[in-house]
Amino acid sequence: MSLRVDGNHLVLHGEGAAVDQAYSVVQRILEAAVRGAQVTPDDVALATSDVLRGRHETALPHTLYRSHRGREIRPKTAGQRAFVESIDRNTLTFGIGPAGTGKTFLAVVMAVRALRAREVARVILSRPAIEAGEKLGFLPGDLKEKVDPYMRPIYDSLAELLDDSVVERYLERGIIEVAPLAYMRGRTLSDAFVILDEAQNATRDQLKMFLTRLGAASKMIVNGDITQIDLLGGATSGLLEVPRRFAGIDDVGIVEMNDTDVVRHPLVSKIIRAYAAEPNAP
């Protein structure tokens, strides 16, 4: 089919079914533009994906947050939309998917949004300090300096959303806390938005410990990629059993994303599929 602009009109020409699908996509884009959204190619791709899947009634996602640079942030794929909807709807959400699907970033976006809306008093961000081929003890500095490199993706996400001075102030006051998983033991995390990232590197006991830290008026997100487990000594990732163990439990959401939800460079999706095709190849 073809599409052309004729003055104030958009003319679609082609077979009936294709024109109907294109019209649904255009209509959704126009609706987003009318409400003031900064329409991007990702929005067009998501609208097209919805229509091809028969989800004609689904509108484009509303903006979740506007960064300090004015960037509008909203889900870019169907998987990301399901992830965000689960976070809104449930107290505990598991986000399971490959690298590049935006799990960490969207979790931090939802946390910062809740903090700014005063829905929680603090944000707690954690991840296991597990090495991917390097040893923690070989890094220079004290414990904080050793751990900070492992927290870098979380700091990067915060920097995308908030001015550096705001991040620094929040960290100094403990409004935002970034800490290794081991530091969670014995705590009760109340009135907080709590995120565990890289949860594939938490054992069953560690994951149980973390989940049972959940306190009153809190929300928790647990993210991980089960294809990138770095645990040593035959230890089993606690994230592997999540779909079976928590399926059907009220107020718990499990969202599994795949390579179609990758929002990094398009080549990343192909890399993921290449490894998935021969997972045990030498």
Residue 73 has pLDDT above 50, yes or no: yes
Is 217 a domain residue?
yes
Report yes or no on 282 lying in a domain.
Answer: no
Residue 132: predicted pLDDT: 43
Same domain, 69 and 47: no
Q: Tell me, what CATH number does 179's domain have?
A: 3.40.50.300
Same domain, 100 and 143: yes
Please name every residue paired with 123 in a beta bridge, in sequence order, or none if there are none. Answer: 176, 193
Indicate the helix (H) or strand (E) that contains 177.
Answer: strand 176-180
DSSP symbols for 88-116? HH-SEEEEE--TTS-HHHHHHHHHHHHHH
pLDDT at 195 over 90: yes
Check pLDDT > 90 for residue 268.
no
Residue 96, domain member (yes or no): yes
Is 8 found in the same domain as 139?
no
Same domain, 37 and 73: no
Together in a domain, 194 and 231? yes
What b/e string do you get for 132-149 counting C-beta neighbours within 10 Å, with b at 16 or more?
eeeeeeeeeeeeeebbee
Split into its structural domains, the chain has a count of: 2
Q: What rounded mean pLDDT belongs to the chain?
A: 83
Whether 169 and 198 map to the same domain: the answer is yes
At residue 273, the 3 state secondary structure works out as helix
- 279: region left, alpha or beta (phi > 0 left; psi from -120 to 50 alpha): alpha
- Residue pair 151/127 in contact by the 8 Å Cβ criterion: yes
Written as six digits, the tokens of 26 are 């255009």
For the chain, state the CA radius of gyration: 21
> Is pLDDT larger for residue 267 or for residue 90?
90
pLDDT of residue 238: 95
| More confident: 79 or 146 | 79
Write the pLDDT tens digit of every residue in 95-129. Answer: 999 988 999 999 999 999 999 999 999 999 998 87
Q: Is 42 domain-assigned?
A: yes
Q: Could you give the CA distance from residue 238 to residue 207 in angstroms, rounded to a whole number?
A: 6
Q: Is 160 exposed, middle or buried (0-12, 13-18, 19+ CB in 10 A)?
A: middle
Per the model's pLDDT, the better-predicted residue between 155 and 38 turns out to be 155
- Do residue 39 and residue 156 come from a single domain? no
CA distances to 39, 59, 80, 262 from 76, rounded to whole Å, are 11, 12, 6, 9
| pLDDT tens by residue, 153-184 | 888 999 999 999 999 999 999 999 988 898 89
Q: Are residues 77 and 179 in the same domain?
A: yes
Task: Identify whether residues 135 and 16 lie together within a single domain.
Answer: no
**Residue 160 belongs to a domain:** yes
| 134, two tokens | 């390097």
Q: Which residue has the higher pLDDT, 222 or 38?
A: 222
Please indicate, yes or no, whether residues 126 and 219 belong to a single structural domain of this protein.
yes
Type of residue found at 24: S
Least confident of 13-17, 59-63, 133-137: 133-137
> Tokens 């008026």 sit at which residue?
217
What pLDDT score was predicted for residue 129?
74
243 and 196 within one domain: yes
**What's the gap between Cα 171 and its chain centre?**
22
Rounded to an integer, what distance in angstroms lies between the CA atom of residue 176 and that of residue 169?
Answer: 9
Asked if residue 39 and residue 109 are part of one domain, the reply reads no
Q: Is the pLDDT of residue 74 over 90?
A: no
At 3 the pLDDT is: 74
Residue span of the structural domain in which 46 resides: 2-52
What pLDDT band is residue 264 in, cutting at 50, 70 and 90?
low
